[in-house]
Structures are given as C-alpha cells and as structure tokens.
Structure 1
Amino acid sequence: MITGKISSILLIFLASWAGWKLKSLTKSGALAAVATGFATLAGAGPKGLVLLGAFFATSSLWSKFKEVKKASIEEKLAKGSRRDWRQVAANGGPGALCSLLFLVTSDPIWIICFASAIASANSDTWASEIGSLSRREPVSILSLKRAERGTSGAVSSLGTLAAIFGSALISILAVFLYKLSPAYGMIIFLFGFIGNVLDTVMGAFFQALYRCKECGLETEKAVHCGERTIKIKGNAVLDNDMVNFLSGLMAAWGTFILLAFK
C-alpha cells in the first residue's frame, strides 16, 4: 500500500516534469498538474490518475499533431498549445473537486462524477484539436453559417466525431478500472459528450470575443499586436478557461443529480 502510494506520487512529479520538458506545460502548468494529481490521488486513487493521465497524454498528443497547420488558428485562441495553470485548473479542476468530495463523503457517486468531468474535458479537447483539421470550415451554432477554424461555438462533423470518441475513451477506461456496470459507463459517456456540447453553446453565446485594433482580427485574446483589443461580444469573465471549467463542472453536477435522485 505504502509502496503504491509512493510510486503514484513519483509518477505525478515525473509526468508533470515531462509535460514541462516536452513543452506541453508551462512552469505554472506543471505546478498546477502536480496539485491536480495529488487531489486526484487523494480520492479517486491511482485509477483516477490513469484516467487523468489518459486525458493529459492524448490531449497533448493531439495538440502536437500537425502543429504547424494549426499555427494560424492559435492567433484566434486565447492560449497556445502549452497549458498554463489556468488551463490545467479549467480542465482538471472539476474532476479534482469530485475526487476530494469522494475523499470526504466516501460516496461512490463522486467517482462516477469524477469520470464524467474527465470525459467532458477529453471530449472537448479532442473536438477542438482534431476538428480544427477538418477540410471544411466549421458551422457557427449562432449564425448557422460557415466560420473560421478556431471560432468558439463552431462545430464540424470531424470535431463532433472526435468529441464522441474522446468521451468514449474515458468511459471505457473508467468501466474497466473501477469495474463499473455498462449503465454507469453510458452515463459517463453521455455526460462527457454533453459537457462538450455545453462548452460549445457557452462559447457561442457567452464567451468573450475581441477585435484587434491594429490588424482587425477577431480573437479570444484581450491583447493582440501589442495593444488592448476591443470586446465585441460576450462577458469578459467568461474566457475559454472559465467556459472549460464550467462545462466540466456541469457534466459532473448533471451526473450527480441523475444518480442521487434516480
């Protein structure tokens, strides 16, 4: 038991260090990954670390895949492929919170909620990273017209398919690791995908969008070309990180409501 915990702790530090060395994480992102790893280990245990690791490893892989082709898209996005502490907290925070709630309550519902939160993060990340490689421009759910790649609130067939597979991966792993019934696996899958859908909806209707005063580019960045940008849509509080966090939280909370009051 003690040897297993020591191995898990060493793994957390090693994975965070590797993420930093491979430039998937900034220094602050690596520190946040350590904190998220410890919170996950405390409640969800080593099996929870496997789920968290599957999300981090696959999302980092897809972020690096055809990175040159995605370079122009990053001009529109608030953050690049290297995750800082806010991005780590946004994607891993809801799951870490569920893990700690399981630690406090010992209610197994929170393990299912934990898995749903990770499935949501994985679904959304796969949709964004793989969907951006679609041959056709995505369709904005706000205007129902073609939009530029990287536009929040826009969807493509490839991105939607990627979201389904991203959620399914975490669901299958959770069923295998925690020996859950297929019914629980389906719940994790559904709420994981729903989390991605909620992320898209919030991105379209509420997330802040800015226009650069220098080059005219519509972007999620509050600063572009060395100048403050002009907000043209949404709430400044609801940046991409906040939207990611809220979508994962809602996926977990929806799972809890379904299981607690069934």
Structure 2
Amino acid sequence: MIYFIAVIFFAFLAYRKDALSGSGAIAAVTAGLFVLFGLSLFGLAVLAVFFVSSTFLGRVLKSSNESLMEEKGGRRDAGQVGANGGVAAACAVLYGYTGHILWAVSFVAALAAAASDTWATEAGKKSKKQPVRIFTLRPVPAGQSGGITALGTGAALAGSVFVTGAAYFLLAAGTGPDKLSVSPELFVLAALAGFAGQWADSIAGAYFQGLYKCRECSEITERRKHCGKNTRLIKGSRKVTNDAVNYICTASAVLFVWLAGLAIFT
C-alpha cells in the first residue's frame, strides 16, 4: 500500500512541477502500478531514476527559444509517458507473470533507451556544431529528428549507462523481488541495448517520421499546425509521430536484449 501511495504522490508532484500534464500524471500512475506488480520497489526506483534524471537534464539545458522541431510542449502528456515508459511497463508485467530474467533485463534496457534518446536530444541542442543526418551526414536544422551530433551521441551513451548503472546498484541493495538476480554481464547488455535503441530512434526519425512545412511562413517543423494553419507534409508519414518513434526506440532495445540474450543462453 505504501508503494501505491508513493506512485500517486510522485505523479502528483510531477504534475505540480509542470513535468506532467493531467493525462500524463494518470498515465504515469498506471505505468507505475504495472511496474510495481512485476518488479516491486526495484522497478519503481529505476523508473524514477529515468524520469527524474531526464526531467532535470531538460530543465538545466532548456533553451530560451522554443524549438519548431518539437511536436509537443515540455509537459509530458499520456502519449509521451506511454512512448517512453509503456514498453518498460509491459516488460515488468511479463516478468511478473513468467519470471524470465530477460524480461527484467528488457525493462532496464527499455528505460535506458528512453534515457539515451532524451539525453541525446537535450544535450544535442547545446552543440556548437550543426547536426547532420544519420548516414548521409548532410546538415539538418537543430532539433530535427534523425539529426546527430558528437555531443548528443556522447550524452546518449551516458544516459544509457547511467540508468543501467543505477539499476545495478539498486538491485544490489536488495530492492528487487525475490529470486531476481541479474549478472553484471546482463546489465552491460542492457546498456548496449539502450544505446542501440537510440540509434533505431534516429533512423526512424530521419526516414519515417513526418516533417512538415508551414504554408504561411515556410518554416520547416514537426508540428502539424503552424501559424494557425495546417502544415504541408514534405517527408515521412503523418502516422509516424515523435511518440511512435519513441516506441520504436524502446521496443528496439527489448528486441536487442532478446536476440543477444537468447544467443548467450542457447
């Protein structure tokens, strides 16, 4: 019961601090309860590490200028919470039902991927060098999905390592459910999977996510509306939003864990 109250309190506090919208707070409570069911205090603590560190980094590195490349504002809504934490919550539930160690590792990897992507995005905005498009290396506007910088790539690796490192120490401290024991090698796998998920995010953002042009001022943006009018699609698909790309990011990390994990165990 005390953990249930803690989940609600944490979501309410995030709402009051403008880190979550109303729908985002409800989604966060739902995700938190799923994580609590599967991975107990350990899961909640790792989820908190991801959310607090990413929110803090976003506040510290916040630009004074609003980016046209951001589809939504700074407050995470239900869609953003689901895109960043939904896959991890599902992995926690699957671990609770099956007890398979790779679902617990996948949970950590999914959050590591979400942190890797978030840290890369926030740090990349501060890069003095213009981002380039993945593979082609052609310059793209700052903040555009699929753009990469050396600073952002370093932050992506740091974000993945930070979350998995925190998870390792939290589990070692005895916060996990009974019988959950993860070897250091599997935490390394989770960190690599999280970093790989961020690259899947960049590829999907560069080649599939919708990019638009304002009909009024001709600005390039990821928003479907600008200057009070519907924008014109110039690249990608309208169905592939930033939230969809974030799902690809976290799901790719889980896929990496299972492909590598099964290869190790068989």
Match of 1:216 among 195, 214, 218: 218
Matched residue SS, 1:94: helix
User: Matches of 1:211 and 1:49 in 2, distance apart?
Assistant: 41
Match of 1:33 among 28, 33, 54: 28
Amino acid in the other structure paired with 1:165:
A
Amino acid in the other structure paired with 1:47:
F
1:10 maps to what in 2? Answer: 5
User: Matches of 1:144 and 1:64 in 2, distance apart?
Assistant: 29
User: Matches of 2:166 and 2:33 in 1, distance apart?
Assistant: 20
Is the CA contact (8 Å cut-off) linking 2:61 and 2:122 kept in structure 1?
no
Is the CA contact (8 Å cut-off) linking 1:142 and 1:153 kept in structure 2?
no
Match of 2:187 among 180, 185, 188: 185
Amino acid in the other structure paired with 1:72:
E
RMSD: 1.2
Task: State the 1:182 CA deviation.
Answer: 2.1
Is the CA contact (8 Å cut-off) linking 1:123 and 1:167 kept in structure 2?
yes
2:40 maps to what in 1? Answer: 45
Task: State the 1:174 CA deviation.
Answer: 1.9
User: Matches of 1:175 and 1:107 in 2, distance apart?
Assistant: 18
Task: State the 1:261 CA deviation.
Answer: 4.0
Match of 1:104 among 69, 72, 97: 97
Amino acid in the other structure paired with 1:184:
L
Matching of residue 92 in structure 1 with residue 94 in structure 2: no
1:230 maps to what in 2? Answer: 232
Tell me the TM-score normalised to structure 1 length.
Answer: 0.94
User: Matches of 2:189 and 2:202 in 1, distance apart?
Assistant: 20
User: Matches of 1:168 and 1:88 in 2, distance apart?
Assistant: 21
Matching of residue 141 in structure 1 with residue 143 in structure 2: no
Q: Aligned in 2, Cα 1:22/1:177: closer, same or farther, shift over 3 Å?
A: same
Is the CA contact (8 Å cut-off) linking 1:208 and 1:236 kept in structure 2?
yes
1:197 maps to what in 2? Answer: 199
- Structure 1, gaps ≥5 residues long: 1-5
User: Matches of 1:158 and 1:29 in 2, distance apart?
Assistant: 29
**1:147-196 deviation digits (Å, cap 9, x = unpaired):** 21111101111101100110001111222223432211210110000000
User: Matches of 2:259 and 2:136 in 1, distance apart?
Assistant: 32
Match of 1:72 among 66, 70, 76: 66
Is the CA contact (8 Å cut-off) linking 1:39 and 1:96 kept in structure 2?
yes
- Structure 2, gaps ≥5 residues long: 173-181
**1:21-70 deviation digits (Å, cap 9, x = unpaired):** 1111110011100011001111011111111101110111122124243x
- Percent identity, aligned pairs only? 36
Tell me the TM-score normalised to structure 2 length.
Answer: 0.92
